[in-house]
């Protein structure tokens, strides 16, 4: 594997609190690497350290062979960044701001094809402040691409967008990959990570708790399905561990998620057992296991809980 980013034991502390607590991973040239985790996991802090906006308190990282903190100007030429906090000049027009950014670099890619490709052709003479959320994100990506970098950092590019705008952005990100760019993308949407990322690092509380392809991550919990229900006796759910084919149980207040290797066997066993023991359950549903379940079974929490 040809890695283009190497991160070793990277740390960031605020006072006594570790926002990023010793994470290590490699990003392979040409892949979309996803950092998946809930709010506060440390995704943005990690990306900001890699692109040179925050100084690590420990660890090392190299980008295209250059050490962060040492070769900042060389790294700048290799990377394009769209960060959560990117604020655009609201009173410039779309094309003007792209031309402005282009002027910051010794060379840049042709502007009009870039505008067209980001689906901003009709908006190129509009003020930035009049753009929709999706259009603003596409503009931010255009600005990240202007100097033709080989690595693109996208920090939660679709957060807050409507489903259609999200899908448009997914297509754009997949096109970047097809063109050989390496993309590092953070998200708290498991569906997005699954669709876009070749490999996913799952982050929680400043740590990388798992790293693999989406399919391997889902397989790792050894459950093909989840059975969900509510119960008034959450203290008794440990008893369900003995039910046929059950691999794991996660309880959140009165809401139970029961993972199984065989949905049919476990479902029948659950219904028979709860009837026999007079344990009341309600709101029963079943579904296939997803990346969300990988997070849930590792942390006991959902990806979108605070």
Element (H, E) at 35: strand 32-36
Q: Kindly write down the DSSP assignment for every residue of 118-168, as one continuous string.
A: TT-GGGTTSBGGGS-HHHHHHHHHHHHHTT--SEEEEESTTTT--HHHHHH
* Residue 301 Cβ vs Mg ion, minimum distance, rounded to whole Å: 17
List the single partner that 80 binds among Mg ion, ligand ADP, none, CB under 5 to 8 Å by kind.
Answer: none
Give yes or no for residue 227 binding ligand ADP (CB under 6 A): no
Q: Specify whether the CB–CB gap between 27 and 34 falls below 8 A.
A: no
DSSP state of 36: E
By beta-carbon proximity to Mg ion, the closer residue of 43 and 199 is 43
Contact positions with ligand ADP (CB under 6 A) in 14-33: 14, 19
By beta-carbon proximity to ligand ADP, the closer residue of 208 and 223 is 208
Q: Specify whether the CB–CB gap between 131 and 90 falls below 8 A.
A: no
Contact positions with ligand ADP (CB under 6 A) in 161-190: none
List the single partner that 34 binds among Mg ion, ligand ADP, none, CB under 5 to 8 Å by kind.
Answer: none
Binds ligand ADP by CB under 6 A, chosen from 5, 27, 36, 37: 37
Q: Specify whether the CB–CB gap between 97 and 135 falls below 8 A.
A: no
- Sign of the Cα torsion 83, 87, 89, 93 reads positive
Binds ligand ADP by CB under 6 A, chosen from 22, 30, 40, 52: 40
Binds Mg ion by CB under 5 A, chosen from 44, 260, 274, 297: 44
Binding mask 43-72 for ligand ADP (x = CB under 6 A): xxx---------------------------
Q: Specify whether the CB–CB gap between 94 and 120 falls below 8 A.
A: yes
DSSP H helices, the chain, are: 43-50, 72-78, 94-103, 111-117, 133-145, 163-178, 190-196, 214-220, 263-276, 291-299
Q: Is 171 exposed, middle or buried (0-12, 13-18, 19+ CB in 10 A)?
A: exposed
Binds ligand ADP by CB under 6 A, chosen from 11, 32, 42, 143: 42
Give yes or no for residue 202 binding ligand ADP (CB under 6 A): no
Stretch that binds ligand ADP, among 36-44, 103-111, 209-217, 279-287 (CB under 6 A): 36-44
Write out the residues near ligand ADP by the rule CB under 6 A: 14, 19, 37, 39-45
Residues that bind Mg ion (CB under 5 A): 43-44
């Amino acid at each position: 594997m040809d890695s283009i980013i190497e991160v070793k034991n990277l740390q960031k502390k605020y006072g006594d609190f570790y926002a990023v607590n010793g994470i290590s991973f490699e990003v392979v040239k040409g892949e979309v690497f996803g950092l998946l985790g809930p709010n506060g996991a440390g995704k943005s802090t990690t990306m900001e350290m890699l692109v040179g906006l925050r100084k690590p308190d420990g660890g090392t990282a190299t980008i295209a062979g250059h050490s962060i903190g040492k070769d900042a100007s060389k790294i700048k030429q290799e990377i394009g960044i769209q960060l959560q906090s990117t604020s655009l000049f609201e009173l410039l027009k779309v094309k003007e701001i792209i031309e402005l950014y282009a002027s910051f670099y010794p060379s840049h890619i042709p502007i009009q094809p870039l505008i067209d490709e980001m689906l901003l052709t009709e908006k190129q003479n509009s003020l930035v402040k009049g753009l929709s959320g999706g259009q603003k994100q596409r503009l931010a990506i255009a600005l990240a691409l202007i100097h033709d970098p080989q690595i693109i950092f996208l920090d939660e590019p679709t957060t807050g967008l409507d489903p259609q705008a999200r899908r448009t952005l997914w297509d754009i990100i997949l096109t970047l990959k097809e063109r050989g760019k390496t993309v590092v993308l953070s998200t708290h949407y498991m569906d997005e990570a699954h669709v876009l990322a070749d490999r996913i690092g799952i982050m929680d509380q400043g740590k990388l708790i798992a790293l693999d392809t989406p399919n391997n991550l889902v397989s790792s919990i050894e459950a093909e399905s989840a059975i969900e229900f509510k119960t008034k006796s959450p203290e008794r759910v440990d008893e369900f561990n003995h039910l046929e084919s059950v691999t794991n149980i996660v309880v959140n207040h009165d809401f139970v998620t029961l993972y199984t290797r065989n949905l049919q066997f476990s479902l029948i066993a659950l219904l028979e057992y709860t009837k026999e023991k007079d344990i009341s359950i309600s709101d029963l549903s079943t579904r296939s296991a997803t990346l969300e379940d990988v997070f849930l079974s590792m942390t006991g929490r959902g990806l979108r809980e605070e």
